[in-house]
Structure 1
Amino acid sequence: MTTRDAPSERTRWTIHGERPVDENPHIRLSIAHVELPNGVQFDQYVIRIPRCVMTAVLDDAGENILLIWRHRFIIDQWDWEVPGGYADPGEDPAAAAAREVEEETGWRPKNLEFALSFQPMIGSADAPQDLYIARGADLVGEPHTDEAEAVRWVPLHEAQQLIASGKILGAATIMGVLQAITARAAAPPHTA
């Protein structure tokens, strides 16, 4: 196997224009006219979505993760997810992450830390996603109506099995569970 240097800037695609198809506060759909470095041209649908924030909330011991059970009509499937949603324009992403947890679960996260940013559909969409990890949470109320069918603290080993069985499908939730498992494995053992 050979290693190659990163391609130079001359190999970038050229965008000859982008025209909107539809737009609202949560999504912009457009068609971009693209030219490859070899001269081939085509039209590409482009989706642009505002920043979303998700939080993997662990209990104080780091053994359980807070998940919500939702039906996602787009794929017509129920799945377990970490809480999350859109950051409002100008809103601090960490504050948005904490707000979403509380709205969707009734739990207020403690010790919120930024974990990573990712793009879940980088070939078709600009949809920045931030994942936070919270260690500990206080029950402060009930979830907002229609946010989740159920809210549950799930043992991390069970959450890993839910990924394997297709009961956890969302990229942020999968990354949150795996981040939590990795952090737990790297932590020094508890002494009583």
Structure 2
Amino acid sequence: MKPLKKWKILKSKLVVDNQWCKIRQDEIELPTKQIIDDYFVNIRPDIAVILPITPQKEIVFVRQYRHAVEEILLELPAGAFSESEDSIVAAARELEEETGYVADQIIKLATLYDNPPKDTNKIHLCLAENVQQKSKQKLDITEDIEVVLIPITKVMELITKEEICVSGTIAAIFLGFNYLSGRTVTE
């Protein structure tokens, strides 16, 4: 088996550059020496996703409209953050902004690539136990969010029924449940 090689970027330019969307067009040379002159890459900020669990063993979800897929989805609180912000700080901020809930302690479960063929960002998955509602939501102009509390015992059924179907949310749930069961992520 021959070793894999990285692609070589010959040229690169931003073709869309605004606050909502950045797209880079790369001219690349494949390891086979073939040239592709229009490989488009979405430059996206990292995202923090938090699995917040109340003392009553309910998970704090958010339900909101997602325009790209034109669906109202049930997912965990999450949001983008800048490179200068720590992922745990971002997770805590997004939890409070979207739900009004706060956590005394947040742990990081994992960092995953979101869509590596086309997107530059990572998803940082976090867990918070014993979250408490302390304030009202502080929503952005594009957010209309319903807070939904779901007992932990019902979550797997909702995944199976495809009522919970956002990949970052499902990854956080599985890794969080694994962590809570006392096993490490690498076992």
- The TM-score with structure 1 as length reference comes to 0.84
1:105 to 99, 110, 127: 99
Q: After TM superposition, give the deviation of residue 148 of structure 1 in Å.
A: 4.2
- On the 8 A contact 1:80/1:168 being kept in 2, the answer is yes
Aligned equivalent of 2:70: 76
Aligned equivalent of 2:111: 117
Q: After TM superposition, give the deviation of residue 181 of structure 1 in Å.
A: 2.5
1:38 to 19, 23, 32: 32
- On the 8 A contact 1:106/1:139 being kept in 2, the answer is yes
Distance in 2 separating the partners of 1:162 and 1:23: 38
Question: How many aligned positions are there?
Answer: 180
Alignment of 1:14-93 (within 5 A): 14-42=8-36, 43-60=38-55, 63-93=57-87
SS of equivalent residue, structure 2 residue 181 = helix
SS of equivalent residue, structure 2 residue 157 = helix
Structure 1 unaligned regions, length at least 5:
188-192
SS of equivalent residue, structure 2 residue 40 = strand
Q: After TM superposition, give the deviation of residue 108 of structure 1 in Å.
A: 0.7
- Output the amino acid matched with 2:123: Q
Distance in 1 separating the partners of 2:7 and 2:153: 43
Identity %: 21
Aligned equivalent of 1:190: none
Deviations along 1:57-77, whole A, 9 cap, x unmatched?
11236x321100111111111
1:154 aligns with 2:157: no
Give the RMSD, CA atoms, in angstroms: 2.0
Aligned equivalent of 1:139: 133
Deviations along 1:103-142, whole A, 9 cap, x unmatched?
0001012220011111111011111221111111121112
Distance in 1 separating the partners of 2:146 and 2:81: 23
Deviations along 1:24-51, whole A, 9 cap, x unmatched?
2454201111111111111211011112
Q: After TM superposition, give the deviation of residue 89 of structure 1 in Å.
A: 4.9
SS of equivalent residue, structure 1 residue 175 = helix
Q: After TM superposition, give the deviation of residue 92 of structure 1 in Å.
A: 2.4
Distance in 1 separating the partners of 2:34 and 2:152: 48
- On the 8 A contact 2:81/2:90 being kept in 1, the answer is yes
2:120 to 126, 133, 137: 126
Structure 2 unaligned regions, length at least 5:
none
Aligned equivalent of 2:159: 163
- The TM-score with structure 2 as length reference comes to 0.86
- On the 8 A contact 2:50/2:95 being kept in 1, the answer is yes
